[in-house]
Chain A
Amino acid sequence: MSTTYVVRDSMTMLRRNLRHLSRYPSLALMLLAVPIVFLLMFVYVFGGTLGAGLPVDGGGTRADYLTYLVPGIWIMTVASVANGTAVSVAIDRTGGMFARFRTMDIARVSVLTGHVLGAVTRTLLALSVMIVFALLLGFRSDAGFVGWLGAAGLVLLLAFSFTWLTVAMGLAAGSIETASNTPLVLMVLPFVSSGFVPTEQMPAGLRHFAEHQPFTPIIETLRALTAGTPVGHEGWIAVGWCTVIGVTGYLWARRQFARVPVR
């Protein structure tokens, strides 16, 4: 299979994927609804109280909490879109499309490449919406161009890594239902991280977990980058986690893809 066909078939698969998005914008909006609802709820319902508890001189305000919360919400947006990816992969698997593609003489990688590129595109679109939304609510940033560039790079890396992981979950799931449930762990973990409240305020055991699970360094890094403050060693840990999750997801997906269902 020549490289031209790999590229051509991948583009065909990507087009198919994006067409699904344009055909079902409501599905994409549902995935966006999750981070939007959490952002509104945490800022306007809990934000006053949570802001007061932030380690700011004299206690913070609702506006301080918004600034604190937004990076975590962006990360959650990536996770929410990835959740949808698992479902669309499972639909192809159980619906026989993967089997059909496998009887055709096409570049085999293109099938998954289409899903991955489609998912990353969806993530970037969703993030653009969430950035505008945060700005509308009053989020302001002191970060310069380099900070935002770094933030974009981190988020893109995370998008690829979560996508490969959820592609694998979608392939491994026996049913569409399972495929939509397994990735929920990615939606729950941010709550037990520094995303919503600083870890210092958690009980010892929980705090230990929160500080050592992947979301905390990733969120801390994004927070520092978008606030224009120094990133420190958390940055390397964040990149490390993304790489580990992405490579694991990729290898797992490749293995699962070889086990295509035959109905």
Chain B
Amino acid sequence: MSENTFLLDGEAIPFVPGQTVMQAAKAAGKYIPHLCWHPEFKPHGSCKLCTVKANGRFVSSCTMEAAAGVTIENRTPELDDKRRTLLQLLFVEGNHFCPSCEKSGNCLLQATAYDLGMMSPHFDHFFPDRPVDASHPDILLDFNRCILCSLCVQASEQADKKNVFVMGGRGMRGRRIIINSESGKLGDTDFAASDRAASICPVGVILKKRVGFAVPIGERKYDQAPASVVEVTK
């Protein structure tokens, strides 16, 4: 084994020092399921879907720095099984009605669930009471579908320098995205449809108004290829 490689499911993966396991795997075309990780932003490590076993210990691959000689298990039945459970929990914690959701086919949560073979939500639905914020002229927020990945927070802060979205509240039911304006409404911020944060949401919360079904079902991102392919080529 050459110096800067680690073993991912038995295959040697090269890395550049400083790269995370996730980054190196992606560069090598290897899919590690993930939701809160995005190549443009600092890893946040909140969804835990990218959990792998490094030398037998559970770690988040999006935050773990790659190190030479480490043996990593990724797509094992054990880990995928745990990932399915995490996905099921996410589905029941929010209100996800894929058949009428305009993000269907473009949604990373849905695509990942398909890819990992999640057949049913399994757990009882929480049916939480979550707000819809339509106050902005060009953008709709439907928090029913928020998975708290915090990518909007990072995009607004780091790319747009605006801090429109803030993670707030506590606990499983209390934790939520808060809009940084006096009224708490998006319409009262300087948010713009051209902001990076306007197109970052992996699910169907932050949406461009009035065009939801302009692209037909069947012609959407994950209709062309499964998440495991799209996510390593994008």
The answer to whether A and B come from one shared complex is no
Chain A interface (Cβ < 8 Å from any Cβ of B): none
